[in-house]
């Protein structure tokens, strides 16, 4: 069901196209990688799936064979014709839209509709798009996506590591997260200069901690904006020494040393 390297090259050539570096286009040309992504998504035949950046439709074809409906959101107008050709199925709807804008989300239907996102996300928009969907699109309950390996590690980083930061905490607030598999550069055309990974997120029934999210992430953003500084300096205008003590958090700590639960405790006390 998926496109091989020779089929991808033939499709591009027939439509007079080449991958756009500006749009972060690297097409998966290995059917085994596509199949592994679909398995990781744990789809059922009645599932609704949204795919961001379908490109030439190799993953779209595989999703259409497993799910009830597939919404393929493609920003590049030049890809629409080959995508429609490659992913010609009754249960596939192609939407020409910039996924970073909210208009396409009307296609997701009623507030109680459940969707799974499965995608080889364009690497140049992956993190801001993902964090926006976590915050603002509760209809998407699971996320199975491929991103640059370095980005994947940031999303699931342990406390205290260099990769741990705002994306880690935002993901932990909303989801259970894990890296499913590593993906070598050789499965793409053109071949990127980085390795990739497939990440699986499952949205929690409720946020992982009880906290005012605006206050919580205001403190997190403020501290990580100066991550080399101790918290007593970066948060001096927002948290007193007594509040640090009440929360049992050393004011000499740096932001990556605090767990999500620590941040929630500090936010609660600082706002009281």
Q: Is 234 exposed, middle or buried (0-12, 13-18, 19+ CB in 10 A)?
A: buried
- Please give the pLDDT value at position 86: 93
pLDDT at position 1 over 80: no
Q: Determine how β-strand 140-148 pairs with β-strand 27-28.
A: unpaired
Q: Is 106 exposed, middle or buried (0-12, 13-18, 19+ CB in 10 A)?
A: exposed
- Please give the pLDDT value at position 175: 98
As given in the structure block, the two tokens for residue 31 are: 């059917």
Q: Tens of pLDDT along 56-100?
A: 999 999 999 999 999 999 999 999 999 999 999 999 999 999 999
Domains of the chain: 5-203 (3.40.50.150), 213-270 (1.10.8.100)
- Residue 22: which pLDDT band, with cuts at 50, 70 and 90? confident
3-class secondary-structure state, position 168: helix
- Please give the pLDDT value at position 109: 96
| Mean pLDDT confidence for 172-185 | 98
- Please give the pLDDT value at position 192: 92
Cβ atoms of residues 175 and 204 within 8 Å: yes
pTM of the model: 0.96
As given in the structure block, the two tokens for residue 265 are: 């405790």
- Please give the pLDDT value at position 206: 97
- Please give the pLDDT value at position 199: 98
pLDDT at position 271 over 90: no
As given in the structure block, the two tokens for residue 50 are: 């949204």
Q: Tens of pLDDT along 220-260?
A: 999 999 999 999 999 999 999 999 999 999 999 999 999 99
Q: Determine how β-strand 115-120 pairs with β-strand 140-148.
A: parallel
pLDDT at position 23 over 90: no
Candidates 90, 85, 14; CA nearest to 55 is 85
- Please give the pLDDT value at position 24: 85
- Please give the pLDDT value at position 129: 97
> Which contacts of 180-186 are long-range, i.e. CB under 8 A and separated by 24 or more positions?
180/36, 180/40, 180/144, 181/36, 181/40, 182/149, 183/33, 183/146, 183/149, 186/30
* Whole-number average pLDDT of the chain: 96
- The contacts of residue 142 (CB under 8 Å, 6+ apart) are 41, 42, 116, 117, 200, 201, 202, 203
| Mean pLDDT confidence for 122-150 | 96
Distance of alpha carbon 126 from alpha carbon 173, whole angstroms: 18
- Please give the pLDDT value at position 180: 97
Candidates 35, 76, 40; CA nearest to 55 is 76
**Percentage of the chain surpassing pLDDT 70?**
100
- Please give the pLDDT value at position 104: 97
């Amino acid at each position: 069901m998926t496109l091989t390297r020779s089929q991808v090259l033939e499709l591009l050539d027939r439509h007079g196209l080449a991958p756009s570096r500006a749009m972060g286009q690297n097409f998966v040309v290995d059917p085994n990688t596509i199949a592994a992504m679909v398995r990781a998504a744990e789809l059922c035949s009645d599932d609704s799936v949204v795919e961001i950046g379908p490109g030439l439709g190799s993953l779209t074809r595989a999703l259409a064979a497993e799910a009830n409906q597939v919404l393929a959101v493609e920003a590049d107008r030049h890809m629409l014709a080959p995508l429609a050709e490659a992913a010609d199925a009754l249960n596939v709807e192609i939407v020409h839209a910039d996924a970073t804008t909210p208009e396409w989300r009307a296609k997701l239907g009623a507030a109680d509709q459940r969707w799974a996102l499965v995608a080889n996300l364009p690497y140049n928009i992956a993190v801001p798009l993902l964090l926006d969907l976590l915050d603002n699109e509760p209809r998407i309950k699971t996320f199975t996506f491929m991103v640059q390996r370095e980005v994947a590690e940031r999303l699931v980083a342990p406390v205290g590591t260099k990769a741990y930061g705002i994306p880690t905490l935002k993901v932990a607030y909303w989801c259970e997260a894990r890296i499913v598999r590593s993906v070598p550069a050789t499965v793409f055309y053109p071949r990127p200069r980085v390795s990739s990974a497939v990440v699986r997120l499952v949205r929690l029934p409720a946020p992982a901690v009880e906290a005012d999210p605006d206050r919580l992430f205001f403190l997190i953003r403020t501290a990580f904006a100066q991550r080399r500084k101790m918290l007593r300096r970066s948060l001096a205008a927002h948290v007193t020494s007594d509040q640090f003590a009440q929360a049992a958090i050393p004011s000499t700590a740096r932001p990556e040393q605090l767990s999500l639960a620590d941040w929630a405790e500090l936010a609660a006390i600082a706002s009281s």
